[in-house]
Structure 1
Amino acid sequence: MRYQFITAALAATAALQFAGPAAATDLEVTHWWTSGGEAAAVAEFAKAFDATGNHWVDGAIAGSGDTARPIMISRITGGDPMGATQFNHGRQAEELVKAGLMRDLTDLATKEHWKDVIRPASLLNECTVDGKVYCIPVNIHSWQWLWLSNKAFADAGVPVPKNWDEFVAAAPALEKAGKIPLAVGQQAWQTSGAFQVLMVAIGGPDIFKKVYGDKDAAVAGGPEVAKVFKAADDARKMQAKSKVQDWNQATNLVITGQAGGQIMGDWAQGEFQVAGQTAGKDYTCLPGLGVNAVIQTGGDSFYFPLLKDADKSKAQEVLASTMLSPATQVAFNLKKGSLPVRGDVDLNAANDCMKKGLDILAKGNTIPDTNQLMTEDSLTQVNDLFAEFFATPTMTPEDAQKRFADIVSKAD
């Protein structure tokens, strides 16, 4: 009840703050949130913005960010900008900002003290170019999770694993029970993301930073990363019968007990929630694969292209402010499965897995997201490699590692 009261009161305050005599303004917002959990979360943004007297025009683009981003960029560079658009934290919108196509939000950020409330500070730093703020972070999403179906392990007659090694050891029992040990969607970003998680868990955070941050090709081709490729080979074998395409389809295999687990970001929580499942009862989450408990400071930000229409430009400010308001941060992130970017919100309603993430964040055990460390071009090459590796059993881990080290040596 306390949470509901606080949320309702803050939402009313936000509506009063932005309500005015001006006519309602339609503002198109583009994003790639189309799964069940994602749709429930984005509806919270739309509801909060509509409460200000404006109108959210939903511009959802089906598919992953890899599908949506080229469309978004083409519209902006082609002179047909939307009111606001999603990108991941990091360097994805870097060229658009430098081309002068994105709106400077520095005055709003100063007025509303974003620097004082956004945590960790690196999130706002990722939105800052040459001292000016060009985006607003709305959540913290971390790849560093293994989601496990308690039903699948019960059916297989083995305990729910507590770490990656136990998970690998349980694979034969899962297969004997007719289960897919590891669910993986057949898209490049999913297989590449799984590898990143394995690197942090098996190689450690420092190895991850040296490879993706420092672009250290010697480390990428060295013995510590060789262990990671061995683990990736285990993952490849465990997902051999996982024939689904989209990430949420793979999550559904875990939800329905058809698969033992999935390496996926915390956005998977939204799917478990929509399915009516309870963390700790129906499913188990292992941050850092139960080996290295860290939170990756990835996630989503919204940028606001420059517009000629004065009313829409004003509405952009209202939307930015609304997205960061305490009430909206709570409502959105509870549905999305992500962590809020504000350090001053009440999250008593958080589930077991979100509380684990908040605890790790509070301890400062964080690492950057790859989007914050490498350009889109470099990451595309990495993604393509792991799509091929997971789909080609004849490619040896040694050969894949050599190609990976070569990509790292040329990355920027």
Structure 2
Amino acid sequence: MWKLTKLAAVAAVLAASATAGAGEVEVLHYWTSGGEAKSVAELKKIMQGKGHTWRDFAVAGGGGDSAMTVLKSRVISGNPPSAAQTKGPAIQEWASEGVLANMDALAKAEKWDELLPKVVADIMKYKGAYVAAPVNVHRVNWMWGSSEALKKAGVAAMPKTWDEFFAAADKLKAAGLVPVAHGGQNWQDFTTFESVVLGVGGAKFYQDALVKLDDKAINSDTMKKSLETFRRIKSYTDSGAPGRDWNLATAMLIQGKAGFQLMGDWAKGEFLAANKVPGKDFMCAAAPGTTTSYTFNVDSFILFKLKDSAAQKAQSDLASSIMSPEFQEVFNLNKGSIPVRAGLKMDKFDDCAKASTKDFVDTAKSGSLLPSVAHGMAIAPATEGAIKDAVSQFWNDDKVSVADAVKKIAAAAKTK
């Protein structure tokens, strides 16, 4: 784990107080695609409506890896932004460096503990105090279908099992279409992989193998079957997949060139931005075998310590705006996700979002609400990175056997 020196941490705070102008918030994020950019523009509008100046600090790259590299550089150099998009265990790691602001006064005044599910609230806290504000809940284990492509291939319904999926993929291939739109980046590879593990092994196996990193689960026949299924999916992708951004893969479905995409519900934001209608132009369904489970990704903003009172006020207003019903509704309508704040009316949301909200509540009760490993919600970043690399190596190199992949994943799981 990268560590800030105490000196650098002090420098960060001092520089922040010196550079943050009155009523100004600088926000680092990686929401740069169509649906995402539209969403973040709403937050900017709300902040400007409160009289604050918004400095947009966007770093492209859907998984956020590039943004985190830039953020570390900024903090070490003593010039952090007011807020930065971060999530999962990385929130705790930043907080442990002593550079984050305690937002408890605001959280208590606005009753965040009552508005947020405990599983989400706990992720936003460090040693019992809020240091981050959550924006939304994404379901990761979605599968999207192009109505145009499926109709052309004679696929009548979204597949519920992997056998049905491969049968549909064969029909799409025979129709001259790309069965699976994919972007060859390690977080995209793992987004597919974790849905396969969940679909093949179920919620308990997913928890044991990918969250608890249990050696017995990783070395099991179920993991081998998961890897075999994962490799089979690769054979249905196109030669242009390596390096493709996720939203360009979604565009292949929008254009009717590809049948399926295994991707979180931010993909829906792209369909909606292209004026496509759910249930008509595109279909949503849980990834094969995962109907009764839910892998989640909660976007959030960590808030850095600032000494200037005007900067603190602007930062507090930013956190309050993020949690406001107004922003929660409009942001999630654009982004494709669902509100993290409990009790909001869902009448403006589409059927995919309504299904996601119901499943989020149901799986929380059943014990099959699971953090996404691919999206930084489950394990330490260093371990996550090592496992992602092992899985992507298997995806990209057919010479790597299933047995070798199991060994590499098991070794990566021990990375600290």
Q: TM-score, normalised by structure 1?
A: 0.90
d(CA) in 2 for partners of 1:382, 1:135 = 26
1:402 pairs, out of 396, 407, 413, with: 407
In structure 2, stretches of 5+ residues that fail to align are 1-20
Q: Which residue of 2 aligns with 1:40?
A: 38
Q: Which amino acid aligns with 1:332?
A: F
Q: CA RMSD in A?
A: 1.6
CA drift of 1:382 comes to 1.4
Q: Name the stretch that deviates more: 268-277 or 70-79.
A: 70-79
Q: Which residue of 2 aligns with 1:393?
A: 398
Q: Does 1:342 align with 2:347?
A: no
Q: For 1:400, what is the secondary structure of its paired residue?
A: helix
Q: Does 1:62 align with 2:60?
A: yes
- Could you give the per-residue CA deviations for residues 322-359 of structure 1, whole angstroms, max 9, x where no partner exists? 11011110010110111111112112011121111011
2:159 pairs, out of 159, 162, 166, with: 162
Aligned residues of 2:200 and 2:289 also touching (Cα < 8 A): no
Q: For 1:93, what is the secondary structure of its paired residue?
A: helix
Q: Does 1:353 align with 2:352?
A: yes
Q: Percent identity?
A: 34
Q: Which residue of 1 aligns with 2:83?
A: 84
Q: Does 1:366 align with 2:369?
A: yes
d(CA) in 2 for partners of 1:128, 1:158 = 46
CA drift of 1:308 comes to 2.7
CA drift of 1:303 comes to 0.9
Aligned residues of 1:148 and 1:254 also touching (Cα < 8 A): yes
CA drift of 1:70 comes to 1.2
Aligned residues of 1:267 and 1:338 also touching (Cα < 8 A): yes
CA drift of 1:24 comes to 6.8
In structure 1, stretches of 5+ residues that fail to align are 1-22
Aligned residues of 1:279 and 1:353 also touching (Cα < 8 A): yes
Q: Which amino acid aligns with 1:122?
A: V
d(CA) in 1 for partners of 2:291, 2:197 = 10
d(CA) in 2 for partners of 1:91, 1:144 = 20
Q: Which amino acid aligns with 2:370?
A: I
Q: Which residue of 2 aligns with 1:213?
A: 211
Shift in alpha-carbon separation, 1:81–1:411, aligned structure 2, 3 A: same
1:195 pairs, out of 193, 196, 200, with: 193
CA drift of 1:108 comes to 1.1
Q: Name the stretch that deviates more: 284-293 or 206-215.
A: 284-293
Q: Which residue of 2 aligns with 1:325?
A: 324
- Could you give the per-residue CA deviations for residues 170-217 of structure 1, whole angstroms, max 9, x where no partner exists? 222211222111111011110011101111111111111111222101
Q: Name the stretch that deviates more: 286-295 or 218-227.
A: 286-295
- Could you give the per-residue CA deviations for residues 83-106 of structure 1, whole angstroms, max 9, x where no partner exists? 111012x11133321111111111
Q: For 2:71, what is the secondary structure of its paired residue?
A: helix
Aligned residues of 2:390 and 2:412 also touching (Cα < 8 A): no
d(CA) in 2 for partners of 1:112, 1:242 = 48
- Could you give the per-residue CA deviations for residues 53-87 of structure 1, whole angstroms, max 9, x where no partner exists? 11222111112301111111221232101111101
Q: Which residue of 2 aligns with 1:133?
A: 130
Q: Which residue of 2 aligns with 1:8?
A: none
Q: Which residue of 2 aligns with 1:116?
A: 114
d(CA) in 1 for partners of 2:31, 2:324 = 20
Q: Name the stretch that deviates more: 48-57 or 350-359.
A: 48-57
CA drift of 1:45 comes to 1.1
Aligned residues of 2:293 and 2:370 also touching (Cα < 8 A): yes
Q: For 2:156, what is the secondary structure of its paired residue?
A: coil
d(CA) in 1 for partners of 2:60, 2:238 = 26
Aligned residues of 1:226 and 1:398 also touching (Cα < 8 A): yes
Q: Which amino acid aligns with 2:72?
A: I
Aligned residues: 387
1:230 pairs, out of 228, 231, 242, with: 228
Q: For 1:86, what is the secondary structure of its paired residue?
A: strand
d(CA) in 2 for partners of 1:144, 1:158 = 21
Q: Name the stretch that deviates more: 226-235 or 361-370.
A: 361-370
d(CA) in 2 for partners of 1:295, 1:100 = 33
Q: Which amino acid aligns with 2:59?
A: I
Q: Name the stretch that deviates more: 392-401 or 178-187.
A: 392-401
- Could you give the per-residue CA deviations for residues 232-253 of structure 1, whole angstroms, max 9, x where no partner exists? 0111111143426100011111
CA drift of 1:127 comes to 1.4
